[in-house]
Amino acid sequence: MNRKEWLIAAIATFITIVAWVVFDIKHNYSKVEIPEKVKELIEPISPDFNTRSLESSP
């Protein structure tokens, strides 16, 4: 590779890294709001299992 090809490769790499950093910063500062209805639907289920209800069933 001659000097001009190295310069083109270095500039392309630099632009790629700058774009990567800018988009990463933009991604980290963007806020996503979850609607209240969805929050209710995705609540975790209680891990406690009621064994008395199984014992009383016929």
Q: Write out pLDDT tens, residues 23-46.
A: 999 998 888 888 888 888 888 887
The answer to whether position 27 is within a domain reads yes
pLDDT of residue 13: 98
Q: Which residues of 1-58 form beta strands (DSSP E)?
A: none
The answer to whether position 7 is within a domain reads yes
Name the helix (H) or strand (E) containing 49.
Answer: none
Decide: pTM greater than 0.75: no
The answer to whether position 47 is within a domain reads no
pLDDT of residue 58: 60
Number of domains into which the chain is organized: 1
* Rounded Cα distance, 24 and 30, in Å: 10
* Rounded Cα distance, 27 and 22, in Å: 9
Which DSSP category does 48 fall into?
-
- Is 15's pLDDT higher than 90? yes
The answer to whether position 1 is within a domain reads yes
HSE-CB for 9 with a 13 A CA cutoff:
6
The answer to whether position 17 is within a domain reads yes
Residue 28's domain comprises 1-40
The answer to whether position 53 is within a domain reads no
- Is 55's pLDDT higher than 90? no
